């Protein structure tokens, strides 16, 4: 499949999302095109105090990514009373416009807490989910539209490091993957019963929040390997429109209308009880890409398969500097893979899997978020609080960096919208770049 045609397929699959939001908004956690790239213009290459347009203090730390609709920024956060909040800020000034308490009961396990999933918007409503199972919708002025608790409906999420999958919004429906453990050890602190848990895909009507379908997704994986922190994505291929899911050792394609499985592929040969998957799948050059954990490769599969396609549709794999937790970014037809532990970024030809260049980002602390890119630049920040602007061109180059002293630990990913980049630290949300006014 040629690059022009594959780009068209991705555009078709995301057109229903883009129709309601500006091309310069950041509407979901991996951006409006679901691959970490942005159509925003005038993004800053120089990150220093002179390019910092505003700073907004946040009630608490979290790994969720801010999203943008027009002149409004939405971000989730816990507070010191363990409330789970959705905040709306003015994009031009960082001023808080409103906040809503969606749930109560924040917990922190390792580097994660109940505010790991990112909110999502269609330009008319904003939707937010927390690790407690609290799921709610608001209009852009903060009026509650619906709320429910998925834990009460289906049992609390049985995920070791706290549930982190963000919803996918597509054509007026919300899609969620809950890939979790079925049986829990007795010392598991976040499990509220002894009954078994099913892993499942769930589709909700975005307007009402009501279930449209629920599909059980089976796996032969065990213990932590049954768990996934990834977000599903759409793929328009030879089988038509598919919902792509990764977790439980497998990549799989499902029908949008009912979640039934079309195909699946095992990502790696080695079996391990502790191979949880963090990275979401991405589409590049007409291929479906997924990343195995803990040194396992990034693998590309061709679409159009039925049943077990582990061998038949496996196209290429990349092993030199794979990613354990950072979802790859696709920008201007190129694939960028970040090994956040080694701080190494590699540009890859997505048609062949061949590396074009590789370079190490200076510094020592891990980079927990995923790359975001636009206008030939890539952005990320490390745990210690340094944010980087990198070149996405023909060679590796650090364009600039800025250190937020005393604001670690920093997690999550950077949002790009309307000439600004939005960087979350443990204490605040910072906006770099020129403030652009939106036409009414």
Phi, psi of 317 (to 5 degrees): -140, 150
User: Structural domain of residue 290, as residue ranges?
Assistant: 3-432
pLDDT tens digits, 314-358: 999 999 888 999 999 999 999 999 999 999 999 999 999 999 999
Number of domains in the chain: 1
Is 201 contained in some domain? Answer: yes
Please choose, from the candidates 212, 179, 176, 185, the residue with its C-alpha nearest in 3D space to the C-alpha of residue 198.
Answer: 179
Is 440 contained in some domain? Answer: no
Per-residue pLDDT, 193? 56
Q: Would you place residue 19 in the very low, low, confident or very high pLDDT band (cuts 50, 70, 90)?
A: very low
Q: How many whole angstroms separate alpha carbon 154 and alpha carbon 204? A: 14
Question: 398-407 burial, b for 16+ CB within 10 Å, e for fewer?
Answer: ebbbbebeeb
**When comparing pLDDT for 189 and 6, which is higher?**
189
Is 305 contained in some domain? Answer: yes
**Among residues of the chain, what percentage have pLDDT more than 70?**
92
CATH number, domain with residue 320:
2.140.10.10
pLDDT tens digits, 225-258: 999 999 999 999 999 999 999 999 999 999 999 9
Is 24 contained in some domain? Answer: yes
pLDDT tens digits, 54-64: 999 999 999 99
Is 439 contained in some domain? Answer: no
pLDDT of 3 > 60? The answer is: no
Q: How many whole angstroms separate alpha carbon 420 and alpha carbon 330? A: 19
Q: How many whole angstroms separate alpha carbon 407 and alpha carbon 259? A: 42
End-to-end CA distance of the chain: 40
Is 170 contained in some domain? Answer: yes
Q: For residue 127, what are its two tokens?
A: 């939707």
Which residues does 218 contact at the CB level (< 8 Å), separation at least 6?
199
Which residues does 357 contact at the CB level (< 8 Å), separation at least 6?
346, 347, 394, 395, 396
| Secondary structure of residue 28 in the 3-state scheme | coil
Q: How many CB atoms lie within 10 A of CB 308?
A: 13
Is 437 contained in some domain? Answer: no
pLDDT of 74 > 50? The answer is: yes
Is 205 contained in some domain? Answer: yes
Phi, psi of 318 (to 5 degrees): -120, 120
| Secondary structure of residue 172 in the 3-state scheme | coil
């Amino acid at each position: 499949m040629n690059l022009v045609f594959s780009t068209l397929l991705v555009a078709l699959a995301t057109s229903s999302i883009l129709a309601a939001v500006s091309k310069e908004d950041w509407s979901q956690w991996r951006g409006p095109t679901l691959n970490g790239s942005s159509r925003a213009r005038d993004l800053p290459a120089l990150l220093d105090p002179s390019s910092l347009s505003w700073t907004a203090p946040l009630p608490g730390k979290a790994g969720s990514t801010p999203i943008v609709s027009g002149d409004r920024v939405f971000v989730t956060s816990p507070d010191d009373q363990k409330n789970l909040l959705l905040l709306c800020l003015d994009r031009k000034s960082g001023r808080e416009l409103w906040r809503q308490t969606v749930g109560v009961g924040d917990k922190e396990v390792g580097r994660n807490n109940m505010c790991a999933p990112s909110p999502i918007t269609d330009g008319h409503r904003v939707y937010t989910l927390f690790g407690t199972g609290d799921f709610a919708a608001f209009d852009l002025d903060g009026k509650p539209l619906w709320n429910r608790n998925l834990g009460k409906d289906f049992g609390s999420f049985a995920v070791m490091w706290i549930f982190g999958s963000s919803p996918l919004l597509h054509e007026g429906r919300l899609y969620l993957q809950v890939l979790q453990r079925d049986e829990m050890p007795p010392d598991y602190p976040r499990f509220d019963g002894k009954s078994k848990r099913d892993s499942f895909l769930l589709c909700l009507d975005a307007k009402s929040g009501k279930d449209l379908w629920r599909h059980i997704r089976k796996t032969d994986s065990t213990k932590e390997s049954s768990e996934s922190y990834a977000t599903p994505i759409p793929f328009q291929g030879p089988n038509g429109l598919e919902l792509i899911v990764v977790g439980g050792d497998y990549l799989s394609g499902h029908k949008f209308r009912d979640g039934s499985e079309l195909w699946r592929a095992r990502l790696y040969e080695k079996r391990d009880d502790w191979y949880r998957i963090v990275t979401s799948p991405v589409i590049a050059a007409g291929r479906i890409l997924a990343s195995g954990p803990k040194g396992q490769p990034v693998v590309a599969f061709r679409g159009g398969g039925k049943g077990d396609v582990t061998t038949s549709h496996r196209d290429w794999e990349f092993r030199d500097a794979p990613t354990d937790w950072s979802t790859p970014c696709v920008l201007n037809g190129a694939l960028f893979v970040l090994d956040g532990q080694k701080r190494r970024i590699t540009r890859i030809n997505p048609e062949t899997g061949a590396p074009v260049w590789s370079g190490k980002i200076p510094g020592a602390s891990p980079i927990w978020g995923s790359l975001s890119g636009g206008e030939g630049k890539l952005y990320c920040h490390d745990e210690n609080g340094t944010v980087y602007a990198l070149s996405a061109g023909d060679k590796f180059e650090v364009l600039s960096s800025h250190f937020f002293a005393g604001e670690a630990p920093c997690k999550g990913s950077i949002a790009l919208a309307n000439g600004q980049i939005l960087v979350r630290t443990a204490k605040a949300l910072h906006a770099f770049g020129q403030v652009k006014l939106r036409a009414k």
